[in-house]
Amino acid sequence: MASLYFHIPYCEHKCVYCDFYSIENMTSMEQFLAALELEIIRRAEEFSSKETIETIFFGGGTPSLLSKEQLGKIFNLLHKHYRIESTAEITCESNPGTVEQQKLNDFKSVGFNRISFGVQSFYEDDLKFLTRIHSAEEAERAVDNAYRAGFSNVNVDLIFALPNQTPGRWKENLRRAIALQPKHVSAYALIVEEQTPLATMVKNKLVAPLPPEEDAAMYEITIETLTSHGYRQYEVSNFAQPGFECRHNIRYWDHSNYLSFGPSAHSFWKDSPATGKRWWNVRSIQSYCESMSRNEFPIVGSEEIDAKKFFEEEIFLGLRSSGIDEKKVKQLFGESVFDAKASLLKDLEREGLVTRQNNTISLTEKGYSICDEIARKLM
Ligand code: SF4
């Protein structure tokens, strides 16, 4: 089984902290959609017979800018050229500033069954700082409208460790998110990505990032608050009510095959159980459209994932998410693969950083906060 990802590279306004590829000028939208349709058809010639599709994700950018007709055309093509499971999870990322009730009804009718809202904060000054285009009230209304449209599987994205954010304000953000009763919450610390306006603001000392210990304290609050309200942490930044873990994300973390479409999109396909290839498209709408019009794939880079890299990724991705599947890793890399790490694993267990149960090595709440360090040791 495989997954599909669609990168819709337009945003009404570029947020100061965002380094995903998207542009504000939408005049190329029709040309982009024509190129996307070609990419969908051309890729199907190679891959559609190989696996059925279990998850589809529209991200970006802002896929919620697409109209019902534009989305309907893409869905028709997908159903014509790929074998999509009747139970497939199909997610649309949505900016609360771009969706009124009718739009959410349209998303439901074209075939989405999961919706993810970039809420980020319930404080107007935070939203202003992040240069989001919506208010807190609009975000709350968008979630309510999604339920009214018939969505039961709703995610809310939040950002913590904002400059000057206090633990009290972060707790209040979590409280308001939980009050909306989403099935899934993603909570990310603000990262200052290079080449963003935020990075320039930090460089010019206009903004001071929170010290790491305050960031860590907010992360602890996140885990405590969400887990005490029935959300299970199944990845460093992701929490879900039982049965509502994002299947699409899980498939990225367990080395499943996925094809991605649109500028800057990354794909991965295995060529054996423990090796594969990753490739990515050009980060420019214009170059993307030009390539497709020449009938060439807009790929600008690729990476062979050999057995060593595959093993390291199994450890890293497994630890970040629901744990390292010992049985699977031993099947792929040999029964003795963890022997040299036996005493290290015992120490980590003793320190309360990992648990080793039912053939799974998982991080504890304490372990999640130093996930990268533990992964490095195990690799
Ligand atoms: S709406 Fe999302 S994708 Fe667009 S600029 Fe803001 S954070 Fe980035």
Which amino acid, 5?
Answer: Y
Ligand 1 centroid – CA 310 distance (Å): 31
Helix (H, G, I), strand (E, B) or coil at 131: coil
Asked whether the CA dihedral 127, 62, 267, 359 is positive or negative, the reply is positive
Tell me whether residue 97 is in a domain.
yes
Residue 16 located in a structural domain: yes
Whose structure tokens read 């449209």?
Answer: 149
Within this chain, do residues 241 and 339 fall inside the same structural domain, yes or no? no
Domain residues for the domain of 197 are 2-251
Q: Within this chain, do residues 357 and 215 fall inside the same structural domain, yes or no? A: no
Straight-line distance from the first to the last Cα atom of the chain, in angstroms, rounded to the nearest whole number: 28
Question: From CA 51, how far away is CA 77, in angstroms rounded?
Answer: 17
- The residue to mutate among 10, 22, 132, 191, having the most atoms of ligand 1 within 8 angstroms of its beta carbon, is 22
- For residues 236 and 347, state if they share a domain: no
Let me know if residue 51 belongs to a domain. yes
Q: Could you give the number of structural domains in the chain?
A: 2
101 and 17 in one domain? yes
Among 6, 15, 24, say which to mutate for ligand 1: greatest number of ligand atoms within 8 Å of CB. Answer: 15
Share of the chain above pLDDT 90, in %: 96
Among the atoms of ligand 1, which is closest to the Cα of residue 60?
Answer: 3
CB atoms within 10 A of CB 208: 10
CA distance 299 to 266: 9
Atom 6 in ligand 1: which residue has the minimum CA distance? 15
Q: Are residues 365 and 225 in the same domain?
A: no
CATH number at 373 reads: 1.10.10.920
Among the candidates 208, 236, 251, a domain finishes at: 251
Q: Residue 98 Cα, ligand 1 centroid: separation in angstroms?
A: 12
* pLDDT tens figures, 172-190: 999 999 999 999 999 999 9
Q: Are residues 247 and 314 in the same domain?
A: no
User: Residue of the nearest CA to atom 7 in ligand 1?
Assistant: 18
Q: Across residues 45-55, what is the average pLDDT?
A: 89
Domain end among 220, 251, 282: 251
pLDDT for position 329? 95
Q: How many helices (H) and strands (E) does the chain have?
A: 15, 15
Instruction: Kindly state whether residues 128 and 242 are assigned to the same domain.
Output: yes
Confidence check: pLDDT of 221 > 90: yes
| Residue 110 near residue 76 (C-beta atoms within 8 A) | no
139/128 Cα distance (integer angstroms)? 14
Element (H, E) at 149: helix 136-149
Between the CA of 45 and the centroid of ligand 1 the distance, in Å, is 32
DSSP states of 256-324 as a string? Answer: -EEEEESTT-EEEEEEETTEEEEEEE-S-HHHHHHHHHTT---EEEEEEE-HHHHHHHHHHHHHHTT-E
354-357/360-363 β-pairing: antiparallel
Full-model pTM: 0.95
Residue 226 lies in a domain: yes
> What is the position in ligand 1's atom list of the atom closest to the CA of 11?
4
The pLDDT score that the predictor gives to residue 62 is: 97
**Cα(245) to centroid of ligand 1, in Å?**
23
| Within-domain flag for 96 | yes
Task: Give the residue, by CA position, lying nearest to ligand 1 atom 3.
Answer: 61
Which of 217, 251, 285 is where one domain is finished?
251
How many A from CA of 328 to the centre of ligand 1? 37
Largest CA-CA distance found in the chain, in angstroms, rounded: 60
Q: How far apart are CA 24 and CA 33, in angstroms?
A: 16
Whether 136 is covered by a domain: the verdict is yes
Supply the residue whose CA is at minimum distance from atom 8 of ligand 1.
Answer: 18
Nearest one of 92, 187, 97 to 149, comparing CA atoms = 92
In-domain check, residue 76: yes
Model confidence band, residue 64 (pLDDT cutoffs 50, 70, 90):
very high
Q: How far is the CA of 367 from the centre of ligand 1 (A)?
A: 30
Which atom of ligand 1 is found nearest the CA of 14? 5
CA of 278 relative to ligand 1 center, distance in Å: 24
Residues 40 and 179 in one domain: yes
| 322 contacts 251 by C-beta, under 8 angstroms | no
Mean pLDDT of 88-97: 97
Sign of CA dihedral 39, 41, 47, 50: positive
Residue ranges lining ligand 1, Cβ < 6 Å: 11, 14-15, 18, 20, 22, 60-62, 95, 118
Do 67 and 184 lie in one domain? The reply is yes
User: How far, in Å, from the CA of 351 to the mean position of ligand 1?
Assistant: 39
Among protein residues, the one with the nearest Cα to ligand 1's atom 2 is: 61
Is the pLDDT assigned to residue 49 strictly greater than 80? no
The enclosing domain of 210 has a CATH number of 3.20.20.70
Neighbours of 118 (CB within 10 A): 24
Instruction: Kindly give the distance from the C-alpha atom of residue 77 to the centroid of ligand 1, in angstroms, as a whole number.
Output: 26
Atom in ligand 1 nearest the alpha carbon of residue 95 = 1
One domain, residues 212 and 355: no
Same domain, 8 and 79: yes
Domain presence at residue 297: no
| Mutational test site, ligand 1, from 57, 62, 127, 195, max ligand atoms within 8 Å of CB | 62
**Percent residues over pLDDT 70 in the chain:** 100
pLDDT of 367 higher than 80: yes
Instruction: Measure 244 CA to ligand 1 centroid, in angstroms.
Output: 24
pLDDT in tens, 104-122: 999 999 999 999 999 999 9
Mind listing the pLDDT tens digit for each residue in 232-283? Answer: 999 999 999 999 999 999 999 999 999 999 999 999 999 999 999 999 999 9
Ligand 1 centre to CA of 19 (Å) is 8
Residues 6+ apart with CB under 8 A from 314: 255, 324, 328, 329, 332
Residue 116 and residue 12 in one domain: yes
